[in-house]
Structure 1
Amino acid sequence: MSCRVLIVDDNKDAADMLDLLLQSLGYTTAVAYHGRAALDQLDFFQPRVILLDMNMPILNGYDTASAIRARADSWKFHIIALSAYDDPISIAKMTEVGCNARLTKPASTESLLALFP
């Protein structure tokens, strides 16, 4: 696989486990533990897919997705929201800020990979 995946989650154990899983499946990965770190990695790492936790300190997933979508090259990024939030208001907000898809945590590997472009 040549797909580059940026994992953004403040839960370091969860992020690192997902990182190892995706690497074992052949994906090229990078991890950021908050939204600001994710934004810093966009130009350097150039991910195709961004797995984005919505509830994080420093810069939450909603603000991170909005900042990504404000970029001129935002079309390059496929943002998948990974969140424990599954209420209608949160789901609508994920769509509003530009997430292409969403999954409720915990998500199966098959469900996650099915959302990759």
Structure 2
Amino acid sequence: MPDTVREFIGVYDADGTVLGEARYWIGARLGRTHCALCEITHGLFTERADWRRCRDQLDVGFQTYHRNDAPEDVLAVGSPAPFVVARTDGGLVALLGPEELDACAGDVEEFRRALMRACAERNLDGI
């Protein structure tokens, strides 16, 4: 019997402090820092419009955190960042890790396909 997804949770490979945000932004521009989930969800300064559309079309919410402000139970299931997990009736389920997110190459539609594929492979329902 499939588990029902209640929400998706993504964790960025960046810190959510002012200094952390600045450090990531500068490092990314210089090619020294990389977060595949950031590339999927954000443009130069703000959330991407195609990401917002994708997120809003999901049947459940998609919450994001930075590695320093994510809940401990989420970090325990999904590390290392970046990653995406599903909160289900049965608990947290790891869906996409750094390699799978890198394979999306910043493409929101490819991310959506990877997310749906990961859910299907784990017999998750409600999405």
Query: Which range, TM-score by smaller chain?
Result: 0.3 to 0.5
TM-score using structure 1 length: 0.42
| TM-score relative to the length of structure 2 | 0.40
Greater RCO (CA < 8 Å, at least 6 residues apart): 2
Structure number with greater Rg is 2
